[in-house]
Structure 1
């Protein structure tokens, strides 16, 4: 199964004049019972935060929360006494587990662009924990770079408690990458820029393609393109 969801069919949300979000799954005031999750992937939000604004302290529980900073800066403060300024190329992983609180603010005068992904963890009741790392993915050329993973064999990548991996990818015009997968896995590709063919399905900026029961995900650049690829187990996690 290969399903294209064009940008025009996705949910756009605004909060005042300081936050613009693109929700790929049901989130906040957007609810679609047919679009709740994809395997353990529960949320994928593409967000732009205006300067001197952000999210005040708020709680999370029983979720792996991943933040990928694409541009600008994001200040994170949490109840585990972490205080970190994340910059473009940084990735943050939070295991909320039994519960913790945090804030996310853009304390600069410029916009911040980020992706935030939520995964249901492999098991409930984990102790809250935090990790951030500069993955230096933005200069990738014609390759996939893992930015967060549940595979312990991948080193120098933040670890999540989910049998899932998120990759940042780049393809030049006319070039391609083959991502090997299995029929017991699912793949979601979200196009950040440019235009590409994903198993011969054309996808442009902000389009997403969801694939199931594939052996190979073929990623070909119609024009130079960047994208996020999320590899997850086909079985949904439900609590």
Structure 2
């Protein structure tokens, strides 16, 4: 097994006033030649948006885009005619495909919005753009891996054009479990949202990431109550 450590304080950072963002991988003005992507996982941005502000309408194409609100709300509008608000517990996916325009902003007057913006390279080019949004109850991921993204439309409505599986897990203190990769030759990227865990013999703290390659399974133990995001992604596609 090989591993790549991404400590929270080593990420790229930019504060634009309305947006305070941390980049695990190279993005915008942050460039690190050793951190371009992890397999098909291209972007992992940890964003905070102040009240009443957000991203104006902008384009995407040929990218699978996943948004996971961690706090507050995110209002969305796109060129496919979708108008929606995603909240904590929701997961939103978009297939950029042949091209879309969308905007997203914090509609609340007093509450900041925090969310993860994640991009995955697709395994099909120029597909018809699509939108999906699902609420995933937190109680269904206590001490278990809750699937929130999949390549299979019959598994979750938040499916994407890539052989990638995302899971959320809320582990109680002392709980440990084994995660088994879904596909041979995939890699696993673990991002710790809250708490403290041990991944094999590696200790992770809040907002740390770890990329794991050449493995079939991995032991994960929670030293404190922990919220975990696991991304099981192709290393080649």
TM-score clears 0.5: yes
Q: Normalized against structure 1, the TM-score is what?
A: 0.93
Alignment of 1:218-229 (within 5 A): 218-229=219-230
**Unaligned segments of structure 2, at least 5 residues:** none
Q: Distance in 2 between matches of 1:8 and 1:127?
A: 38
Query: What residue number does 2:30 align with?
Result: 30
SS at match of 1:8: helix
Q: CA deviation at 1:173?
A: 1.3
Q: Normalized against structure 2, the TM-score is what?
A: 0.94
Q: Structure 1 runs of 4+ off > 4 angstroms?
A: none
Q: CA deviation at 1:136?
A: 2.1
Query: RMSD in angstroms over aligned alpha carbons?
Result: 1.4
Query: What residue number does 1:215 align with?
Result: 216
Contact in 2 for aligned 1:171/1:219 (Cα 8 Å): no
Q: Distance in 2 between matches of 1:34 and 1:138?
A: 37
Q: Distance in 2 between matches of 1:137 and 1:126?
A: 32
SS at match of 1:143: coil
Query: What residue number does 1:73 align with?
Result: 73
**Unaligned segments of structure 1, at least 5 residues:** none
Task: Name whichever of 55-64 and 2-11 sits farther off.
Answer: 2-11
User: Would you say how many aligned residue pairs link Structure 1 and Structure 2?
Assistant: 234
Alignment of 1:110-125 (within 5 A): 110-125=111-126
Query: What residue number does 2:187 align with?
Result: 186
Q: Per-residue CA shift, 1:27-52, capped at 9, x if unaligned?
A: 11111122111111110111111110
Q: Distance in 1 between matches of 2:87 and 2:52?
A: 15
- Quick check: 1:44 aligned with 2:44? yes
Task: Name whichever of 166-175 and 201-210 sits farther off.
Answer: 166-175
Query: What residue number does 1:3 align with?
Result: 4
Contact in 2 for aligned 1:78/1:102 (Cα 8 Å): yes
